[in-house]
Every structure is written in C-alpha cells, then in structure tokens.
Amino acid sequence: MPATLRLGASLRILIGGQDEFTVEPGRSVRDTLVSLGIKPELVAMVSVKDEMQTKDYVIQEGDTVRLLAVVGGG
C-alpha cells in the first residue's frame, strides 16, 4: 500500500509544482525528498498523524506525510 506525501502551501511557494505525491513506503523522508528532486533542507517540519517527526522517519504503508517549510520566519 503506497503512502502519500503532502506539501503544505509554504513549501509549494518554494518549489512550485504539485501538492501531493504518491510514494513507496520503506524509505526515509529525506531519501524520498531527494528522489523527488526536493532539497531536504527546505522542509522545516515533517508531520505524521499530527506528530512531528525527523526527516529520518521511515515512511510506513498508508502514511500521509505532511511537509511544511518556513518561508517568513519569526
């Protein structure tokens, strides 16, 4: 069962393009981002089931992984 990567509006501002990707589980968020051509350092937050995770989190089957950037700062 594939997983879903959802890009928040803040991240889409930076990289453009689509807001959702279907990805294969079993790889880290970081590796998955690289494979999609997205610079991992542009992603400030990884959220799975409303909990913050690191980019080393290994994507599980059926996960919806939400990614946010920080565009404007504090």
Partner 1 sequence: MNGYGGKILRVNLTDGTVSKDPTPADVARDFIGGRGFGIYFLLKEVPKGADPLGPENKLIISSGPISGMLIPGGGKCDWTTKAPLTGGYASASMGGHFTAEMRYAGLDSIILEGISPKPVYLFIDDDKIELRDASDLWGKSTFAVEKQFKEKLGEEFQVAVIGVGGENMVPYACINHDYGRQAGRGGVGAVMGSKKVKAIVLHGTKSIPVADKDAYRKAGMALYKACKDAEGLKEWTRYGTTIVVSWCDEVGALPTRNFSAGSFENGKNLYGPVMREKIVITDKGCFGCPCPCGKYSRNKKYDNYVEGPEYETIGLMGSNLGIDDIEAVAHANLLCDELGIDTISAGNAIGWAMECYEKGIFTKKDTDGLDLKFGNIEATFTLIEKIARREGFGALLAEGVKRASKKVGKGSEKFAIQVKGMEQSGYATHNATAMLLAYMTCDVGAHHNRSWAITYDLQVGREKVVPEKVARVIWLQNFRPMFDVLGGCRLQWVELGIDRDLYVPALEAITGVHRSWEDLDKVGERIWNLTRLYWARENEGFGRAWDMPSPRFYEEAPTSGATKGQITKFEDVNRLLDMYYEQRGWTSDGLPKPETIASLGLSAVVA
Site residues (vs partner 1, CB under 8 A): 6, 8-10, 13-14, 39, 41-45, 47, 50-52, 54-55, 66, 68-74
Distance CA 27, CA 58 (A): 5
Closest residue by Cα to residue 53 from 33, 73, 36, 37: 33
Q: State the Cα–Cα distance between residues 9 and 66, nearest whole angstrom.
A: 11
Please, what is the minimum distance in Å from the beta carbon of residue 18 to partner 1?
14
Shortest gap between Cβ of 27 and partner 1 (angstroms)? 19
Query: Residue 1 or residue 18: which is nearer to partner 1 going by CB?
Result: 18
Contact of 29 with 55, CB cutoff 8 Å: yes
Whichever of 1 and 16 has its CB closer to partner 1, that residue is 16
